Amino acid sequence: MWRLPARAAWQGRPEVSLRYQAHTDALIVALLPLPSEREVVVHGDLCLWFDSDTEDALPTACCLVGFAEAPDSPSTRAARAFLGEYLWGLANELWRSGDGTATVVLSDDERRERLRACDRRAVPRPR
């Protein structure tokens, strides 16, 4: 029941936090401020967390290891498709600066695109 108010609040102000850690070459993205109920590993280096095990689960976070080391790996391509060009561009800015963090509020268009990406099943769903 607590998922619905948190989801509604995120839709009203969709804040996303990104962090790049140079020592692990990892990009960590916090998407939805909810506890993660399910973890899905994609191509070995991309981990996605979801807010439930249900068909309408939304991603709460993701972590990509090998962000700069393997820019054309299947994991990296999946992460880029999942995050979209705007967030991917911010991630690259963080990488260029070394270790870094950024928090942004998505525009309405970007928020809708991120939700559409989930609806299109662009990422593996919890099973």
Which secondary-structure segment (H or E) carries 79?
helix 74-96
Q: What's phi and psi for 21, nearest 5 deg?
A: -110, 110
pLDDT in tens, 9-55: 777 888 999 999 999 999 999 998 888 888 989 888 999 998 888 87
* Residues ≥6 apart with Cβ < 8 Å to 12: none
- Are the CB atoms for 61 and 52 separated by under 8 Å? no
Please give the pLDDT value at position 58. 83
Please give the pLDDT value at position 46. 94
How far apart, in whole angstroms, are the C-alpha atoms of residue 35 and residue 27?
19
pLDDT in tens, 80-123: 988 999 999 999 999 999 889 999 999 989 888 887 776 644 45
Please give the pLDDT value at position 122. 46
